[in-house]
Amino acid sequence: MAKVLVITGTVSPIEKSYSIALTKSFVKAYIASHPDDELIELDLNTAPMASKTLTRTNQTEYWNEQDAMEYINQLKEVQKVIISSPMNNFNVSGLIKNYLDHILLANQTFSYKYSKKGDAIGLLDHLKVQILTTQGAPFGWYPFGDHTAFLKGTWEFVGAKVCEPILFAGTKVAPIMQMSPDEAVATIADKITKAAKDF
């Protein structure tokens, strides 16, 4: 039995969120294939840590027991992570960015000790990660804003094995924009089911 951490970080209303619909669809398919696994949900909207941004005035207390170590230890205690983010202003949501800023801590999730040529060594190499992302524009419209690649590279940096991400793009253009989030995500149900079974 694996422990699976499901991280969501959209600020959209739940019923209007394509990333929530994508996450729910993936989790449902995952449970069907892995009924004995334990799922732990982390909605960053309800985590005070995710609203705290790193500034020059708070560096000394930013990485503390409650805001950083609690979530780092959580990652060390699970085997899998499902992380979901929409594109906000060409990047991950602010909630996701704040979460990453808290858990990307030297000598906890990565280390330069014993590394070669300055490359970091990831300390979360026990993790398997599935990235679920959405964006309003079709894929490739904003090559400078690839939030999916950003997430993939970040998790690989800390040593995780990252499965092929699922990006659901074009939610703000026809025909997807004329569908409800659930209806839209249903159009890639086969892809979601296969990815969930393999995860």
> If you ran DSSP here, which 8-state letter would residue 115 be given?
-
pLDDT at 28: 98
Is 12 annotated as ligand-binding? no
Is 18 annotated as ligand-binding? yes
pLDDT at 113: 80
pLDDT at 72: 98
Is 17 annotated as ligand-binding? yes
CB contact at 8 A, 59 and 25: no
Q: Which residues contact 75 (CB under 8 A, 6 or more apart)?
A: 5, 81, 103, 109, 124, 127
pLDDT at 192: 98
Bridge-based pairing state of the strands 80-86 and 128-135:
parallel
Bridge-based pairing state of the strands 110-111 and 121-122:
antiparallel
Smallest CA-to-CA distance from 81 within 150, 129, 30 is with: 129
pLDDT at 117: 72
Q: How many domains in the chain?
A: 1
Q: Compute the half-sphere exposure of residue 88: CA atoms within 13 Å on the CB side of its CA.
A: 15
Q: Which residues contact 6 (CB under 8 A, 6 or more apart)?
A: 23, 27, 39, 40, 41, 42, 81, 82, 84
- CB atoms inside a 10 Å sphere around CB 59: 9
CB contact at 8 A, 170 and 3: no
Domain that holds residue 122: 3-198
pLDDT at 112: 85
Per-run averaged pLDDT (10 residues), the chain, 199 residues: 97 96 98 98 97 95 95 98 96 98 96 77 97 95 93 97 97 94 97 98
- The model carries a pTM of 0.96
Taking the C-alpha atoms of residue 193 and residue 25, their distance in angstroms, rounded to an integer, is 8
CATH of the domain at 125: 3.40.50.360
